[in-house]
Chain A
Amino acid sequence: MKPEDEQPSEEELREAAALAAALENEPAGGGAPTDALETAALLRHARAPLAVPPAHAPVVAAHVAPALEARRMPRPRRSRIWIAISVVAPAAAAGWLFLAQSPMRAHRHPIQPKIHVAPPAPSSGLLAAQAAATRSGDAPGVALARLDREMRAYRRQYHEGLRRVHGGAR
Chain B
Amino acid sequence: MNVRVFFSILVGKCLFKLSRHTRKGGGTALPGLIAIRIKHDLLTYLLAKLPQGNMIVSGTNGKTTTARMISTILKNQGIKVLHNRAGSNLLRGILSTCVEHADLWGNISSDLGLWEVDEAVLPLALHELKPHTILLTNLFRDQLDRYGEIDTLKKKWLQALQTLPRETTVLLNADDPSLAFIGKHLTCTVIYFGLDDKELTLPQLPHAADAVQCPECQHILDFDQIYASHMGYYSCRNCGFTRPSLTIRVPEIQNMSIDSVQFSLEYNSITYKTNLRVPGLYNVYNALAAITASLSRSIELPDIISSLSTFSAAFGRVEKIHVGTKTVYLFLVKNPTGFNEVLRTILQFSNQHIEHLYLSLNDLIADGRDVSWIWDVDLELLKSKVTHLTVSGIRAPDLLLRLKYAEALDHVQTLRVDVNQKKAVEKALNKLRSHETLFLLPTYTAMLDIREYFVQKGYTHHLWKD
Q: Do A and B bind each other?
A: no
B residues within 8 Å of A by Cβ?
Answer: none
Q: Give the B-binding residues of A (Cβ under 8 A).
A: none
